[in-house]
């Protein structure tokens, strides 16, 4: 994958990425992350986080969120000098932090996917999010949604408005009423507490320095969550998820949700995750809803979009299984293309 795919909204990171990739000393700093962490995102997040504490350093002149007047010269010399001067601090950040970007706009996939589930089964679901980070997506039913030509939904007077433009020939079936949730809980290796200012600042640092709108939305969602944050259980998903699901009362269908999470799994663990989900459905109904890169959970026909994710739904009930690709989705949630039911997905 090229830098343009990793950072479609960041000219700065696209300029820096090739130089970083050719620099052994910077790669050595980036290598201190925990297994399964994406080194590129983690390293840039660590530098961004530390640079916010040193806004007078020449490297900060190239970061639009740190300097009102940007510097158009080559950013790499100052960037590299900053990394060399703060090598030990950066190694500590890389070694102790995780890539936990919490993108509230991915709640769009959860809203529409869960509504699709409840068109066939009206029972309230137990919502379980894997890789929940701060749990902002778990609070999907506290937000207002604007789909442009696709209409509006959610809570009209919410302090958080998610704009995701509907594109394509089929408009998304925005529900008139919010899906019913019986309970909600998240699972994460290292849960983020929205009441901890430093933890929230790390989430912001993981965003590209040009992503002003994303930072504003993340800040609003974190503020809205502080009065009543969702429960998030810490630990490895293979250890924690079966216990979490087992505690859900029998007869309550489970909606298992994750977004941009399997992407971080080592390839050999992805089939194990699928096997675990199937096993969880042996004695209950499980609706597995994912927002992941194309081919990560569901395959799709070729698309005209250069970079997209897939909103996929796999329902497991009574030994029967159905798979469907619901939509194509911008990785940052700026647009969604709803697909007709005739285009199935495969796991």
Look at residue 106 and give its three-state secondary structure.
helix
Given phi > 0 = left and psi -120 to 50 = alpha, else beta, which region is 249? Answer: beta
pLDDT at position 5 is 63
Q: What is the pLDDT of residue 304?
A: 79
Query: Is residue 4 over pLDDT 60?
Result: no
The residue-averaged pLDDT of 318-346 equals 84
Give how far Cα 151 sits from Cα of 73, 127, 177, 292, 329, Å: 43, 25, 13, 24, 17
> Tokens standing for 85?
């001067």
Residues 107-112, mean pLDDT to the nearest whole number: 97
| pLDDT tens profile 7-57 | 878 999 999 999 999 999 999 999 999 877 888 899 999 999 999 999 999
Q: Give the C-alpha separation, 102 to 138, whole Å.
A: 11
What's the confidence (pLDDT) of residue 346?
40
Higher pLDDT, 303 or 233: 233
pLDDT class of 123 with cuts at 50, 70, 90: very high
At 21, which helix (H) or strand (E)?
A: helix 11-21
| Mean pLDDT on 91-103 | 92
Structure-block tokens of residue 25: 């000393």
Mean local confidence (pLDDT), 244-269: 92
What distance in Å separates the CA atoms of residue 128 and residue 113, rounded to the nearest whole number? 14
The mean pLDDT of 192-207, rounded to a whole number, is: 95
Q: What is the mean pLDDT of the chain?
A: 92
What order do you get walking across the sheet with 181-188 strand by strand? 165-166, 335-338, 320-329, 309-317, 286-293, 254-259, 125-130, 181-188, 232-234
Q: How would you class 120 by CB atoms within 10 Å of its CB: exposed for 0-12, middle for 13-18, buried for 19 or more?
A: exposed
Q: In the structure, what pLDDT confidence band is assigned to residue 71 with cuts at 50, 70 and 90?
A: confident
Where do the structural domains in the chain lie, given as residue ranges?
3-96, 104-338
Which pLDDT value is given to residue 297? 76
Q: Which of 261 and 144 is assigned the larger pLDDT?
A: 144
pLDDT digits (tens, 9 = 90+) for 146-192: 999 999 999 999 999 999 999 999 999 999 999 999 999 999 998 99
Residue 226 has pLDDT above 60, yes or no: yes
* CATH top class, domain 104-338: alpha beta
What's phi and psi for 312, nearest 5 deg?
Answer: -115, 145
Which of 233-237, 264-268, 334-338 is predicted with the least confidence, judged by mean pLDDT? 264-268
**Three-class SS state of 152:** strand
pLDDT at 60: 95
In the chain, the percentage of residues whose pLDDT exceeds 70 is: 96
* 107, containing H or E segment: helix 107-120
Q: What is the pLDDT of residue 301?
A: 66
The pLDDT value given to residue 305: 86
Inform me whether the pLDDT recorded for 345 exceeds 80: no
Q: What is the largest CA-CA distance in the chain?
A: 62
24 burial (CB, 10 Å; 0-12 / 13-18 / 19+) is exposed
Chain centre to alpha carbon of residue 193: 16
Among the listed residues 28, 29, 48, 20, the one whose alpha carbon sits nearest the alpha carbon of residue 91: 29
Phi-psi region of 326 (alpha: psi -120 to 50; beta: other; left: phi over 0): alpha
């Amino acid at each position: 994958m090229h830098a343009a795919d990793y950072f479609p909204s960041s000219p700065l990171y696209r300029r820096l990425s090739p130089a970083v990739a050719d620099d052994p000393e910077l790669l050595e700093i980036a290598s201190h992350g925990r297994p399964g962490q994406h080194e590129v995102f983690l390293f840039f997040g660590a530098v961004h986080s530390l640079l916010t504490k040193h806004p007078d350093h020449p490297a900060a002149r190239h970061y639009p969120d740190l300097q009102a007047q940007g510097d158009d010269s080559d950013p790499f010399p100052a960037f590299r000098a900053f990394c060399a001067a703060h090598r030990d601090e950066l190694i500590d950040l890389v070694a102790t932090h995780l890539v936990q970007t919490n993108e509230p706009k991915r709640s769009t996939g959860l809203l529409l996917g869960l509504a699709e589930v409840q068109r066939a089964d009206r029972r309230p679901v137990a919502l379980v999010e894997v890789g929940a980070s701060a749990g902002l997506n778990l609070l999907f039913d506290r937000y207002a949604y604007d789909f442009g030509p696709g209409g509006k939904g959610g809570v009209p007077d919410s302090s958080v408005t998610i704009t995701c433009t509907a594109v394509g020939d089929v408009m998304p079936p925005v529900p008139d009423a919010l899906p019913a949730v019986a309970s909600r809980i998240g699972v994460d290796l290292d849960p983020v507490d929205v009441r901890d200012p430093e933890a929230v600042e790390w989430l912001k640092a993981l965003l590209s320095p040009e992503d002003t709108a994303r930072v504003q939305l993340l800040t609003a969602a974190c503020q809205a969550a502080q009065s009543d944050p969702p429960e998030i259980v810490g630990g490895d998903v293979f250890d924690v998820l079966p216990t979490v699901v087992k505690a859900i009362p029998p007869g309550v269908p489970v909606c298992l949700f994750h977004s941009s999470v399997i992407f971080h799994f080592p390839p050999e663990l992805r089939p194990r995750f699928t096997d675990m989900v199937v096993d969880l459905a042996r004695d209950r109904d499980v609706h597995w809803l994912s927002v992941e890169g194309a081919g990560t959970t569901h395959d799709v026909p070729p698309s005209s979009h250069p970079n997209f994710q897939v909103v996929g739904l796999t329902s497991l009930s009574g030994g029967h299984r159905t798979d469907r690709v619901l939509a194509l989705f911008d990785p940052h949630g700026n647009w969604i293309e709803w697909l007709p039911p005739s285009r199935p997905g495969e796991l």
